[in-house]
A and B are shown apart, each in its own frame.
Chain A
Amino acid sequence: MADFSSINVGDVLPSKSLSVDQDLINEYAQICGDYNTLHVDVEAMKDHPLFGGTIAHGTINVEPVLQAICDVQGTQWPVAGTTVDLQFRAPVKPGMTISSSLTVKEKLDDGLLCDMQINDQDGKPCVKGTVKIVAP
Chain B
Amino acid sequence: MIEQNFNTDLITNFGPDKMLPDLAFAEMEPGWDCGGGTYKITKEEVEKFAKLMGDPNTGEKTVPVGMIYIYGLRICWDRKVFIDQAVRAGDKITFYNPAKIGDTVTTKLSISDKKEVTKEKDGKVKVTKFLYINMESLNQDGDKITDILMSFMLPKTMK
Contacts and interface: CB of A to CB of B under 8 A. Distances in A.
Interface of A: 18, 24, 26-37, 40-41, 43-44, 57-59, 62-63, 66-67, 69-70, 76-88, 129
A67 B63 CA distance: 12
A33 B8 CA distance: 8
Contacts of A57: 73
Contacts of A35: 1-2, 4, 6
Contacts of B96: 80
Interface of B: 1-2, 4-6, 8, 11, 45, 48-49, 52-55, 57, 61-63, 65-66, 68-70, 73-74, 77, 82, 88-99
A27 B73 contact: no
Query: Secondary structure of the B side of the interface?
Result: mixed
Contact of A58 (B5, B11, B88, B94): B88
Nearest to A16: B54
Contacts of A18: 53-54
Nearest to B150: A58
A69 B91 contact: no
A27 B4 CA distance: 10
Contacts of A80: 95-97
A69 B4 contact: no
